[in-house]
Amino acid sequence: MSAAAARPAWRALLRLRRGYSVLLVLAAWETASRAGAVNTFLLPPASEVLVNLWNLATEGRLLFHLAESLLRVAAGLGLAVAAGIPLGLWKARSRLADAVLDPVMAFWFPVPKVGLIPLALLFFGFAHGSKIALVFADALLPLVVATYHGALHTDRRLIWSARAMGDSERRILWRVVLPAALPQIFTGLRLAVTVSLLVVFLAEMVASSSGLGHVMIYALRTLETKDVFSALVTISLIAFLADWLVIQARRRVLVWHA
């Protein structure tokens, strides 16, 4: 195994073994569509989707909608981080907070928040407000739960040492408990990012006049199927990149963590 991995030719073959199915599917898609085996309206060739994506991107409209979606995610997620981490820390450190938040979270967690889109629309309007509120509502809990678990399982000895060295409780919270909880918080953040993207695109499809979700549903209704596929590719790339960024940030911040 290790001897084989050392030789570059073998390594290339190994990589091919792990990737051939993707190439196969892409090739099948392209040829089926070009040969007319499937309706090109329902499944335009992959290459044409890419060309179309390039045109949409250089034309600028796609970038506008992309920015709209990202703005909503960033705002909702930012608020959720700002509220979720303190709430989680508080819940871990205070019995009262634990008693109050536990039942609230038990109710709130399993509720499919998209069902509340009308509520968001009525209270926060058709534009950015409703989407930011929905992202916030969905991203908050994973962050609270992750912070809580991380903070709860902080090594007692770390807290004792800090106390022995004369740190105030508040300082211990921010300097000891929070850093110790960071690995968990990043896990929660990763989940929160995934959920945020799911919700923002769904909300944009259901009720919006901008954003990538809107682009997709508008393209479907006007039967521009190439645009549907181009939007799907863009959304997938964004989701992939967002996840990658969280992982990179985690690696950067947690250099001390195994």
Contact footprint for other proteins (CB under 8 A): 17-22, 25, 42, 99-100, 102-104, 106-107, 109-119, 121-123, 194, 197-199, 201-202, 205-206, 213, 216-217, 219-220, 225, 228-229, 231-232, 235-236, 239-240, 243
CB 156 within 8 Å of CB 177:
no
Our CB check for other proteins shows the closer of 25 and 37 to be 25
Closer residue to other proteins (CB): 8 or 112: 112
SS3 44: coil
Question: Could you tell me the smallest distance in angstroms from the CB atom of residue 233 to other proteins?
Answer: 10
Contacts of 79 (CB under 8 A, 6+ apart): 132, 136
153/171 with CB nearer other proteins: 153
Structural element, H or E, at residue 32: helix 20-34
Block residue for tokens 């091919």: 16
The least distance separating other proteins from the CB of residue 134, rounded to whole angstroms, comes to 11
Minimum distance of other proteins from residue 256's CB (angstroms): 26
Least distance CB 236 / other proteins (angstroms): 5
**Alpha helices, H only, 35-124:** 46-59, 61-93, 95-108, 117-124
Write the Ramachandran bin of 243: left for phi over 0, alpha for psi from -120 to 50, otherwise beta: alpha
In one-letter notation, the amino acid at residue 35 is: A
Nearest to 41 by CA among 223, 214, 207, 198: 223
Give dist(CA 109, CA 54) in Å, integer.
Answer: 40
Contact call for residues 76 and 139 (beta carbons, < 8 A): yes
Of residues 172 and 204, the one with the C-beta less far from other proteins: 204
* CB closer to other proteins out of 83 and 206: 206
Q: Which is nearer to other proteins, 26 or 82 (CB)?
A: 26
Q: How far is the CB of 196 from other proteins (least distance, A)?
A: 9
CB of 163 to other proteins, least distance (A): 26
SS3 227: helix
